Amino acid sequence: MPELPDVVVYCEAVEARVRGQPLAGARVVNPFVLRTVEPPLADLVGKHVQGVRRLGKRIVLDFEDDLHLVIHLMIAGRLRWLTKDRKPPGRITLALFDFPGGTLALTEAGTKRRASLHVVQGHEALSAHDTSALDAAEADEATFAARMRVENHTLKRALTDPHILSGIGNAYSDEILHRARLSPLAHTAKLDDAQMARLHLATREVLHEWTDRLRSEAGDGFPEKVTAFRREMAVHGKFREPCPLCGTAVQRIVYAENECNYCPGCQTGGVILADRALSRLLHKSFPRKA
């Protein structure tokens, strides 16, 4: 799923191409993607884009007359910018938005259709898409700590909860926890002030560093390689590979459709955390130490 760094760079790239431009046409290729009927999508046609911004993991195009197009990419949704000579990709295209300089395409790989479009009018309607989560990339230490301690959750859950922090998902939560040298299963209520400060700093550093990296990677072009798995990451997607800091093999916990990656040497004092599926299979043979 595109997370805060990816969404920020998407917003910047889209805004550079459509701000001040009128929407010349809108085509919904797969009707399921449009989740609202009032106001109709057609009301945006002819209206000028006044800005593009991030709302959590959502991308919002602001139009004249207080109209807004809210794009939620979910897991496999992506944006593409098509110049006049480029055809939209076949089966994965969900919607197309034509502007004078090109076409913004919303695509989604796979068979599960989760990406969505909403057309809303007015601040109140737009606020329904705002979870009021804290912007962790900009929050000061005291505000961050207070929000994280409102409820007692594991750090992995707290970092990725869209009602607690804004824009962090599976990939960057792994990187943040590795940078902070904290276990993903540690609980927010048990963190002392020093650990919380370390977590706050790691969160800001990882989000800003990756935003800068992705911005530099895209340059003046449109971001094309938006993926949760990058070779430069320390632990996310690196199961059984050596930790870049201590050399210990990276471990993982698999749950539902996600997985949590961590380094036992840096984060858990050498303890391998129980993976529900694997530990059930191996029983007493399940390793406890890295």
What was the pLDDT predicted at 165? 96
* 127, 162, 178 - which closes a domain: 127
Residue 123 has pLDDT above 60, yes or no: yes
Mean pLDDT within 10-32: 97
Q: Note whether 53 and 157 are same-domain residues.
A: no
Q: 164 is in which domain, residue-wise?
A: 141-285
Q: What digits encode the pLDDT tens for the residues 25-37?
A: 999 999 999 999 9
| 237 vs 259: CA distance, rounded Å | 9
Q: How far is CA 191 from CA 78, 89, 182, 196, 232, in A?
A: 36, 48, 10, 6, 28
Residue 243 has pLDDT above 60, yes or no: yes
Q: Note whether 180 and 64 are same-domain residues.
A: no
Q: Flag whether 134 is in a domain.
A: no
Q: How far is CA 222 from CA 48, 62, 209, in A?
A: 21, 20, 19
Amino acid sitting at position 216: S
**Contact residues for 37 (Cβ-Cβ < 8 A; gap 6+):** none
Q: What digits encode the pLDDT tens for the residues 102-122?
A: 999 999 998 788 999 999 999
Q: What digits encode the pLDDT tens for the residues 186-241?
A: 999 999 999 999 999 999 999 999 999 999 999 999 998 898 899 999 999 999 99
**What is the distance in angstroms between the CA of the first residue and the CA of the last residue of the chain?**
29
Give 67's pLDDT tier (boundaries 50, 70, 90): very high
| 90 vs 222: CA distance, rounded Å | 19
Global pTM value: 0.92
Structure tokens at 165: 């922090």
Q: Flag whether 136 is in a domain.
A: no
